[in-house]
Amino acid sequence: MLFALRRLLPKKKLPKTFHRHEIPRHVAIIMDGNGRWAAERGLPRTAGHYAGMGALRRTIRAASDLGIDVLTVFAFSTENWKRPQEEVDFLMRLPQEFLETDLPELMEKNVQVRMSGSREGLPVHTLQAVDTAIKKTKNNTGMILNFALNYGSRAEIVTAVRKITTLVAEGKLDPHDIDEKSFSQYLYTAGLPDPDLLIRCSGEIRLSNFLLWQLAYAELWFTDVYWPDFKGEHLLAAIEAFRKRDRRYGGIKL
C-alpha cells in the first residue's frame, strides 16, 4: 500500500501508511464543476467535460492502486437532459470515446465496468460502448468501475417499488418478506456494497438526487476543487478525512 501512496503524492507530502480497514470499500464521486472550470478559462462547456475525462483517468488509477473495491462516478443524471442539446450530444459521446480509448488500460488493471441507471433514452452508440466494456471486463476481479449514467435516485426508488408491487400483485412476493436488504436488490446498484465515502467537487454541498438510499450512512467530503483539476492527492485527502471519522451507525462505542 505504501508503494501506491508514493506514486500519488510527493515524498514530502506522504501521509502515514493506511491500513486496509481505513480504506473505504466503496467511493462515490459527484464529478462537478466542468462547466465553471471551462468558463473561467474562456472555453466552451464541452471543453470542461473533455478535461474531466483526464480527472476520471487519474482517479481510476489512484483508486485502483489504493485497493478501493468499488468506484461509482456520477456521469450523467436524469436531470441533465434539460441542458442544451449540443451539450447533451457531446456528453453522450464521451463514454464511447473514453471506453474505446481506455479499455486496454482497464483490462490491464483488472477493472470491471458496470452501469447504474436507466437505459431508456440513451443513444445506441452510447449503450453499445458501455455494453462492450461491460462484456469485455465481466470476468475481471479487480476494482469495479460503476458509471451512474442516466441516473436519478428518486426514479430508481420508484422503479424498484413498481417491480416489487408487480411481484406482490402476481403472488410471487410476500409483502412481509420485504426488508431493507431485499429492497436494495431491486435498485440499480444491486449486488454492490453501499458507498462508505461520497466525494463532491466544485464547492457545492448537496446530493443532487444521487444514491439517496445507498448513502444513508456514507461519510461526506466536499471540496472546492473543480472536477477537471481533481488529482490523486485530493482522493488521498478525502480518504485521510474518512479514516478520522467515528462511524457509529446510530450506536455508541463502549
Q: Across residues 154-175, what is the average pLDDT? A: 98
Please state, in angstroms and rounded to a whole number, the distance separating the CA atoms of residues 32 and 225.
9
The single residue of 32, 65, 102, 196 carrying the catalytic annotation is: 32
Tell me the three cell numbers of residue 126.
Answer: 452510447
CATH number of domain containing 65: 3.40.1180.10
Asked if 169 and 136 touch (Cβ cutoff 8 Å), the reply is: no
pLDDT higher than threshold 90 for residue 16: no
Residue 121 located in a structural domain: yes
Where does the pLDDT of residue 140 fall: very low under 50, low under 70, confident under 90, or very high at 90 and above?
A: very high
pLDDT at 177 over 80: yes
Q: 74: exposed, middle or buried (C-beta count within 10 Å: 0-12, 13-18, 19+)?
A: buried
Please tell me whether residue 242 adopts helix, strand or coil conformation. helix
Catalytic pick among 69, 80, 131, 194: 80
The pLDDT assigned to 13 comes to: 43
Per-residue confidence (pLDDT) for residue 1, from 0 to 100: 39
End-to-end CA distance of the chain: give it in Å, rounded: 31
Asked whether residue 171 is assigned to any structural domain, the reply reads no
Q: How confident is the prediction for the chain on average, in pLDDT? A: 92
pLDDT at residue 73, as a whole number = 98
Find the domain containing 135 and state its range: 24-152+194-242
DSSP assignment letter at 17: P
32 is catalytic: yes
Residue 45 lies inside a defined structural domain of this protein: yes
On whether residue 4 sits in a domain, the answer given is: no
pLDDT band at 253 (very low <50, low <70, confident <90, very high): low
Confidence category of residue 248, pLDDT binned at 50, 70, 90: confident
Q: Residue for cell digits 501521509?
A: 15
Q: Within a domain: residue 6?
A: no
Q: Decide if pLDDT at 173 tops 70.
A: yes
Q: How many domains does the chain have?
A: 1
**195 touches 215 (CB < 8 A):** yes
| C-alpha torsion angle, residues 153, 119, 226, 11 (rounded to 10) | 100
Among 214, 211, 205, 216, CA closest to 250:
216
For the cut 70, the answer to whether the pLDDT of residue 228 exceeds it is: yes
Query: How confident is the model at residue 252, as a pLDDT?
Result: 65
User: Can you give the pLDDT at residue 11?
Assistant: 40
Q: Is 80 a catalytic residue?
A: yes
In the structure, what pLDDT confidence band is assigned to residue 5 with cuts at 50, 70 and 90?
A: very low
pLDDT at res. 113: 98
pLDDT of 48 higher than 60: yes
200 within 8 A of 222, measured Cβ to Cβ:
yes
Residue 124 has what pLDDT? 97
In a domain, 140, yes or no: yes
Q: Is the pLDDT score of 205 beyond 70? A: yes
Q: For residue 10, is it within any domain?
A: no
Asked whether residue 89 is assigned to any structural domain, the reply reads yes
Residue type, 203: G
Distance, in Å, from the CA atom of 162 to the CA atom of 156, rounded to the nearest integer, reads: 10
What's the confidence (pLDDT) of residue 210? 98
Cell of 225: 476543487
pLDDT for res 254: 58
Cβ neighbours of residue 62 under 8 Å, at least 6 residues apart?
A: 8, 231, 232, 235, 236
Which pLDDT tens digit goes with each residue over 105-135?
999 999 999 999 999 999 999 999 999 999 9
Strands of the chain, DSSP E:
26-30, 70-77, 112-116, 144-151, 197-200, 219-222
Which residues make Cβ contacts (< 8 Å) with residue 96, sequence separation at least 6? Answer: 125, 126, 128, 129
- pTM metric for this prediction: 0.91
Residue 152 sits at the vertex; the CA angle it makes with 173 and 114, to the nearest 5 degrees, is 80
For the segment 153-166, the average pLDDT, to the nearest whole number, is: 98
